[in-house]
Chains A and B, each alone.
Chain A
């Protein structure tokens, strides 16, 4: 999130599209209601009428997988009706930037496409530079090659009639939403967007969000109170786990994982984002300091300038290698791995195409599964269709402590890092995860110390000393993440002050690239300083009156509560929205008052810098040349879709998605055997695969079993009554469910045909409760967004039919 949960109350218009906030983030809804109490308009756009829709001032339906068409129409509406904020668009976005003459777009393909590689050469999408290397601009926005004109041209195709044809949303409904949301383009109006997996889990997931970023930039809704692009993430610490680099492509705090062609740290540092524009802060220019400090936190005294701070000891990807989830399980299925950790995860139910995932696990020699309860991953070898006598995999299930049985911090979607205390001991012999991994590594190191082993250096040199009185001490890790001065620094370049060896760095501003500082994660630097554990703070001061609560817990980066907040002021540093003054320049005191400024440079009118400091050009990207599937979002159908032809072009599906073929991977489109669009989703009473919640009597009583929602019309067509047992099946698998026949779903009229949509929750699994049904992911396809490889679980094709035989006996 650029903003945070309480900030919803500051909005004039709230759009929840790609999510179901009332059911999946229920308590945050109080801040939507707080906004509505003050007159805000709440809009819900979704294929299904949910409890969120019941509270919406405007609810409209769209067919799953057509969000870009919907939003493309909104971009056109905003441009046609001049609802955009001209000052903001000219000064704070790349609308005025001139794009290379080589850029073009024709019939669904951007320039630079190579059909044999199914990839683009993005060099034709470059922004033109002048002789000083600064991006060329036309502040009148009239140059036919400027971003603004290219935007206009691209979205001129998204007429109401075409958008309706694709989405199934009536034209009147489209206009209702466009008009309401477009009203937030006034500088004193704020519009916010709340999304979740309903946008991510598509082969165009990133571009769904990009389309909204364009809208937010046109309407001056970024960097302001009550605005922003707000991902309502699904897990209490999925923000923190992402920040910590538990993904193949990033080290902690979004440092790219090194690739093989970058042999030395100097090679790696050559890829540091650069800008020649003196008005661009380009914060990423500091990356070498963060990399060196991270390596020092990994290897400490063993890392020095001479050995590249141990850069060579860290594993490298091949250039361009994608080791993400779907590829990981594809490799596992092929037998690439002998060992596997499923630590605090249940991929046997959460992984797309779970049937393939479960089969993949039979190829392993060993698996370590750490969890609170028995689950379908640890027990996969005795699951449906498995014969334990034929499965070689050795399985260790390690029982771990629950959240209130240990100490540590988590980060919510608003980037608030909050400390949790230990209330009780974990039951039986279960232990906190931190203790388990701490002990395990000590044993691994001891084994490598004893005998010969492959490349022992990183194991022997690793800093692993997080104990107090012989016990693992989480505070020592928290401090390591914040960072230390490793030597006395008599006069620090940042502030000319002296700092003592062994003290905690005050913030990432103090990190150095020469080995004199360590820092586990630069974004979390300033979270645990000599002044104490910031995440544990509980003071409820609110100096701005905007609900920022700067002394409650701590937010990354540097306790900034709203990111890019200098975009909320004019060139002189005065708030553009006097009702919601997030930041104001105090000219006499030469300082900003309000939120922690997104970089403490003076206002733009006084030789200051652009507000979007993480972007090399310093401005918001309406034109986004950095993605794999194009600089503007374009509508493509899901991999599995109900219509033969894309209404927008001859490219039915995204031209750059990876197609997994052969073996268990099967797809269908316009196949009469699988005629219905299917989405997976969640209910309030369960969480994710249900790995925790299915074991709680209160919750399993409320939502005891797998179900399939369908419209009255579809039920009639298929002869299904409410409560009937049904089978839902895709080319990959099937699940049994109870039918819920409801007017919450309705058929769509799409490209001249009737399209039915069904929905199933993904909380269930065969292990418990015994008659609760199995995972919805047995049906979902192995296909992902080309940028993120997040699977397309929100739009695939399935069939539903009444179960005429007795339900199969389970377990």
Chain B
């Protein structure tokens, strides 16, 4: 039988009484199992893969009924990490639950010394106008040799290995449709 995380918990729960008596002289294990159940009781578990290095460790994210992350831990069923995580992976919880996260769109006007919070609609509209202005002003149909190049020389992009595969692909498509050739990201540095 393949031992999955759940069957493992069952087995370890059943055998715990016989193994953890140790030097204490009394058995703490039922209390421990109960406490562990409480923390993630009723939580919805989803699997994810760590966002840091490239090992690709599996992580289980537990969220409560309101969709708030209440726990993250290494996925014992994952063949690469078998439940283990490093200091960063073990801190994934603090990415999800963190007061420092940016929650609103910020705008800094030319020569201003402050941020202003703005709406998505306003920001995306203004960025769109900027893209068109920069693109149209710098668009080159033919290069100095008279060869067709159809590119926008006035815009550059960096990013990102922090995106999902599908987003990377979509972003590359977006940039090249605008005619951008200065496209770089973390892989170069």
B124 within 8 Å of A by Cβ? Answer: yes
**Nearest A residue (CB) for B135:** A454
Tell me which residues from 13 to 50 in chain B have a Cβ below 8 Å from any Cβ of chain A: 44, 46-50
CB pair B173–A424 under 8 Å, yes or no, is no
A373 within 8 Å of B by Cβ? Answer: yes
Give the Cβ gap from A772 to chain B, nearest Cβ, in Å.
Answer: 14
Give the Cβ gap from A188 to chain B, nearest Cβ, in Å.
Answer: 26
**Nearest B residue (CB) for A432:** B167
Tell me which residues from 225 to 240 in chain A have a Cβ below 8 Å from any Cβ of chain B: 232-240
Count of A interface residues, CB-CB < 8 Å: 162
Give the Cβ gap from A460 to chain B, nearest Cβ, in Å.
Answer: 9
A126 within 8 Å of B by Cβ? Answer: no
**Nearest A residue (CB) for B125:** A443
Main DSSP-derived SS at the B contact region: mixed
A420 within 8 Å of B by Cβ? Answer: yes
CB pair B106–A343 under 8 Å, yes or no, is no
A370 within 8 Å of B by Cβ? Answer: yes
Quick one: given A324-B188, A409-B164, A443-B125, are A388 and B112 in contact (CB under 8 Å)?
Answer: yes
**Nearest A residue (CB) for B94:** A696
CB pair A245–B165 under 8 Å, yes or no, is no
Give the Cβ gap from B91 to chain A, nearest Cβ, in Å.
Answer: 5
Query: Which of B51, B94, B167, B177 is most buried by chain A, counting CB atoms within 10 A of its CB?
Result: B167
Tell me which residues from 429 to 464 in chain A have a Cβ below 8 Å from any Cβ of chain B: 429-434, 437-441, 443-444, 446-448, 453-455, 458-459, 462
Out of A257, A324, A524, which one reaches B165, CB within 8 Å? A524
Give the Cβ gap from B97 to chain A, nearest Cβ, in Å.
Answer: 9
Q: Give A394-406 as 1s and 0s: 1 = Cβ < 8 Å from B's Cβ atoms.
A: 1111110011111
Tell me which residues from 1 to 39 in chain A have a Cβ below 8 Å from any Cβ of chain B: 5-6, 24-28, 30
Give the Cβ gap from A32 to chain B, nearest Cβ, in Å.
Answer: 12
CB pair B185–A241 under 8 Å, yes or no, is yes
Q: How far is the CA of A351 from the CA of B48 in the complex (A)?
A: 29
Quick one: given A241-B168, A252-B169, A417-B165, are A316 and B149 in contact (CB under 8 Å)?
Answer: yes
CB pair B124–A344 under 8 Å, yes or no, is no
Q: Interface of B with A (CB < 8 Å)?
A: 2, 44, 46-59, 61-63, 67-69, 72, 77, 79-82, 84-89, 91-92, 94-96, 98, 100-113, 115, 120, 123-139, 141, 143, 145, 147-189
CB pair A402–B96 under 8 Å, yes or no, is yes
- Chain B residues whose CB sits within 8 angstroms of the CB of A552 once the complex forms: 79
Give the Cβ gap from B157 to chain A, nearest Cβ, in Å.
Answer: 4
CB pair B111–A339 under 8 Å, yes or no, is no
Out of B62, B104, B148, which one reaches A263, CB within 8 Å? B148
Query: Which of A325, A350, A438, A547 is most buried by chain B, counting CB atoms within 10 A of its CB?
Result: A325
**Nearest A residue (CB) for B134:** A339
- Chain B residues whose CB sits within 8 angstroms of the CB of A337 once the complex forms: 134, 153-156, 182
- Chain A residues whose CB sits within 8 angstroms of the CB of B87 once the complex forms: 26, 684-685, 698-699, 702
- How many cross-chain pairs have Cβ atoms below 8 Å apart between A and B? 479
Question: Which are the 10 A-B pairs with shortest beta-carbon distances?
Answer: A428-B103, A408-B164, A344-B160, A412-B56, A343-B159, A399-B102, A315-B151, A244-B168, A454-B139, A26-B86
13 more A-B residue pairs beyond the given contacts A247-B187, A316-B151, A430-B103, with a C-beta to C-beta distance below 8 A: A234-B186, A316-B147, A337-B134, A339-B154, A339-B155, A343-B158, A374-B100, A399-B101, A403-B49, A404-B61, A410-B165, A699-B91, A768-B100
Q: How far is the CA of A421 from the CA of B59 in the complex (A)?
A: 11
CB pair A25–B102 under 8 Å, yes or no, is no
Q: How far is the CA of A244 from the CA of B183 in the complex (A)?
A: 12
A347 within 8 Å of B by Cβ? Answer: yes
Quick one: given A342-B158, A412-B56, are A434 and B95 in contact (CB under 8 Å)?
Answer: no
CB pair B56–A416 under 8 Å, yes or no, is yes
Give the Cβ gap from B96 to chain A, nearest Cβ, in Å.
Answer: 6
Q: How far is the CA of A424 from the CA of B48 in the complex (A)?
A: 12
Q: How far is the CA of A371 from the CA of B160 in the complex (A)?
A: 10
Q: How far is the CA of A686 from the CA of B53 in the complex (A)?
A: 10
Q: How far is the CA of A263 from the CA of B146 in the complex (A)?
A: 11
